[in-house]
Amino acid sequence: MTKHDSDTIAAIHRELHSHLPSEPALRAKALESLLVEKGMIDPAAVDAWVGAYSEDIGPKNGARIVARCWIDPDLKQRMLDDAARAVKELGYEQSHLIAVENTPDVHNLVVCTLCSCYPTALLGMPPNWYKMAAYRSRAVRDPLGVLAEFGVALDEQVEIRVWDSTAELRYIVIPQRPAGTDGWDEAALASLVTRNAMIGTERDLSARAAADT
């Protein structure tokens, strides 16, 4: 077998295996299949929960809340005063919730140093990096460096506040409303809000606004 043949076979092997689920995904699927077979769970219920908390659907709840806060200053103040009660007004349930607001002088970053506590009802499932030890430790020790890795460059005068989620506390960041969005309706504003912006690993949403104009 020539080196060319070996390289070709290796490339085909990588291509075939690149489409396979990860090992944790395979284990989860096997466990789900076993529980379904034993009649312990309903596959339709599992699909419904995954859909409700997936990365595609879940963050839209939080985005709608942020957009409403941009439009309604009174609601934003109620969010800052008692976020759990304020989101309940809008039909969402997220207990032990605290809202923090980004301003020109303050940037907020959320982390869970112990595990991966997270407001799933508003932001969907937490991203993998949020659960990784590297993020959980470095967000506290080196928030500026972590933000830089996410492409967030802050001026020296901007204060960084790091909030540590726990079993009793969940946080949501209200990002700054991008300039040039005066007169936009709630749906258009919500389309600008990302999950990362509500965690604090994204700050400037103006490029998204410019792309939509």
- Report the catalytic residues: 112, 115-117
Reduce the secondary structure of the chain to three states and give it as a string: CCHHHHHHHHHHHHHHHCCCCCHHHHHHHHHHHHHHHCCCCCHHHHHHHHHHHCCCCHHHHHHHHHHHHHHCHHHHHHHHHCHHHHHHHCCCCCCCEEEEECECCEEEEEECCCCCCCCHHHHCCCCHHHHCHHHHHHHHHCHHHHHHHCCCCCCCCCEEEEEECECCEEEEEECCCCCCCCCCCHHHHHCCCCHHHHHCCCCCCHHHHHHCC
With vertex at residue 107, the alpha carbon angle to CA 106 and CA 108, rounded to the nearest 5 degrees, is 120
